[in-house]
Structure 1
Amino acid sequence: MLPTGIGVRTSASLAQENSGTVNVDGSGIGLAFQTTTGDQIENDLDMSQSSGLVVNLNGTGGTGILANTRDGATVKSGASVNINKADGGSALVVNNFAKRGDPERKSDFIINDCCSGTGGEGK
């Protein structure tokens, strides 16, 4: 089933470096990497230099970034996701068995959780 309320949906990776702000109100998705029918994509995703890209989850049950990738795909993100409610949802959802490009390096993905008092870099 294809989710509703997607800010940006693409079946290709964005450029390595991106900037801008995507606001998600309610249970929508900020960035969805999937086909038009909601199926998995075949390519790797590399937005590793996208520190200027911010997704704000302002509602309940949203998703910052959804990567519906094939098994073995590499997913890299330098984007930030701000979860602005206690029940705001998931910062990053990766379907299937994706891998990081460099297993020795922590992800540049930053999760800012307003309500639990925690946050930090993904691993």
Structure 2
Amino acid sequence: RFVGADGSSPVFAGIIAPSIEEVQFAIPDQTGGDFYEVWIRYKLTLFDAGGNNVGELPLIGYGKANERNFSQLGQQTPALHEATTWALRGAAAELSLRFRNKTAVQNWLATIGVVPKT
């Protein structure tokens, strides 16, 4: 159960609690090319307003950046940073485009009276 600092019950429909389950990256020596690659695996846990776990959703972000695009800077970390940025963006896009279509989310929305538009 969620309560405010004053002991009152806050007004909300639920909570989405994200966690990072795994981060992987590969450098050009590992990929056999000129690319840095990053994978980030998240788990989103859904809680209703009563604090009950109503579902979990996996979410994966992937990013890739070419080392050659950054070689003139004299360092490789910008390419790894760029690949990580794309992995974060990919996860955000996946969440924004497909969140409502997940069964756990649809079940949760139905319990709070939200009906998807058809």
TM over 0.5: no
Name whichever structure is richer in strand by fraction. Answer: 1
Name whichever structure is richer in helix by fraction. Answer: 2
Q: Which has the larger radius of gyration?
A: 2
TM-score range, shorter chain: under 0.3
Return the TM-score normalized by structure 1. 0.24
